[in-house]
Structure 1
Amino acid sequence: MNFIRKIINTRTKDDEAFFADLKKIIGFTPKNISYYKKAFTHRSIKEFDEETGNPVNYERLEFLGDAMLSAVIAAYLFNEVPSGDEGYLTQMRSKIVSREHLNELGRDLDLLRFVKSNIARSKFGENIHGNIFEALVGAIYLDRGYKYCNKFIEKRVITPYVDVPKLEGKITSYKSLFIEWCQKQKKEFVFDVYEDTGNDTIKHFSVKLFLDGILIAKGRATSKKKAEETASKRAYFVFQKELSNL
């Protein structure tokens, strides 16, 4: 008991506040807080493990958390939709663990407030919200094992967000849907992407989407991928009736 008191007493006030907030988020008491500290450490901090010399940041935990999320969601769908074949289950899992959805989860929990970094938050990409969420899942797995990892994912992902009937009609990639339609209809499409920074301080890209040589939509964003997705989404609403039949 004295040993336990000694450990508790060595915590800083910041550690105590982090511990209390973390407990509210994950729904149970963490055992090894160092895993969670690592889950919120950005690579710009440039910390290294004293014993191994390996970098200390959330990236390896992000990899582990991604795998655990996929495993838990796959098991849930397997049991929840007994009639679903492999293709259907894979598609549904992809919708649940999409980058867009993971970013939403990270934002809803306001995980960015815990991140230690040497760069300004305005410099972070949008995906950091989802990356940190995955790292947190990885930390939970290392700290408390699969049972608690499953418990957290069920509480924070499955119960509030997963509605199988609604997910069936959810579009996760307008670009993929548009390309699939073009291939089935034997139509030619071209994404003409070019740099279009203009007066913005951050690099932007614009895209013109042509269908059978005719310009049908445009898009602009901070990455080529996002610009193409924006143009595809606008094209979707132009051809919504045809695309909805896929």
Structure 2
Amino acid sequence: MKNIRNILNSRFKRNGNFFMQLTKILESKPKEIKYYRRAFTHRSMNIKDSKGNPFNYERLEFLGDAMLSSVIASHLYLEVPGGDEGYLTKMRSKIVSREHLNELGKQLNLIDLVESKIPPGQFGDNIHGNLFEALIGAIFLDRGYKYCEKFITKRLIIPHVDIETLEGKVISYKSLLIEWCQKEKKTFNYHVYDDTGNDEIRHFSVKLSIDDKVVAKARATSKKKAEEKASKRAFFAFQSTMSKMI
């Protein structure tokens, strides 16, 4: 087992302003730095705590996700008294979407604080949102629910949550298209296949058919991204009727 103290101390030799950067983000000094050390330790470090448990941000990510959902749910409940359960659930999903959390993580430059054996350029976009959630989890453990709520309100709700704007935002064109097809009793099919282009990175292409007619094509570096891109193109083709589902 690797010595956790030596590894974590090495972070401060290479990145002595960790505490200062963290204080700037929190706008106050952390009480227990140990939570934040964990929040910015990637699993690739392969270290364990004194009890033999993995020492990385993944459990804090889970906790932070729960804190975000709780604070956002409370805010929506109070701000939209006429919204039913379905509406509130959909709005919360838009606010805490992976895309949105990734942007928040980027804005705070959280990737600069990570201790990892993986070069920063090799991380996918989701690392930014994962770190934001882990940070929220660490704040909750360090300062409690009220301070956590205050941080989320200042960093997320006040600058980014506008009910009217969010009502027209689509977080998943594929989910919207499937919901629309089911409501309209239409059949749909995503035909995904490897793209044998000359790109160095593997690509996938997709043909989206509705009622056996190809309505959109797309190409991306993953099947999921290709399907989402094709769904977005189909959305604009059927926007007059599909927009009612938003």
Residue aligning to 2:152: 153
Residue aligning to 1:141: 140
Q: Which moved more, 1:91-100 or 1:204-213?
A: 204-213
Residue aligning to 1:174: 173
The residue identity in structure 2 corresponding to 1:211 is: I
Residue aligning to 1:188: 187
Deviations 1:61-99 (A, max 9, x none): 000000000001111111111111111111111110011
Q: Partners in 1 of 2:57 and 2:196 — Cα distance?
A: 31
Residue 209 of structure 1: SS of its match in structure 2? strand
Residue aligning to 1:27: 27
Q: CA RMSD in A?
A: 1.6
Give the TM-score normalised by the residue count of structure 1: 0.90
Q: Partners in 2 of 1:55 and 1:26 — Cα distance?
A: 26
1:195 Cα deviation after fit: 2.2
Residue aligning to 1:203: 202
1:14 Cα deviation after fit: 5.8
Q: Partners in 1 of 2:199 and 2:35 — Cα distance?
A: 39
The residue identity in structure 2 corresponding to 1:233 is: K
- Uncovered stretches (5+) of structure 2, i.e. residues with no partner: 1-10
User: How many residues end up aligned between the 2 structures?
Assistant: 235
Residue 51 of structure 2: SS of its match in structure 1? coil
Aligned ranges for residues 13-24 of structure 1 at < 5 Å?
17-24=17-24
Residue 90 of structure 2: SS of its match in structure 1? helix
Q: Partners in 2 of 1:85 and 1:136 — Cα distance?
A: 31
Deviations 1:119-145 (A, max 9, x none): 122221111110000000000011111
1:16 Cα deviation after fit: 5.2
Identical columns (%): 66
1:55 Cα deviation after fit: 1.1
The residue identity in structure 2 corresponding to 1:238 is: A
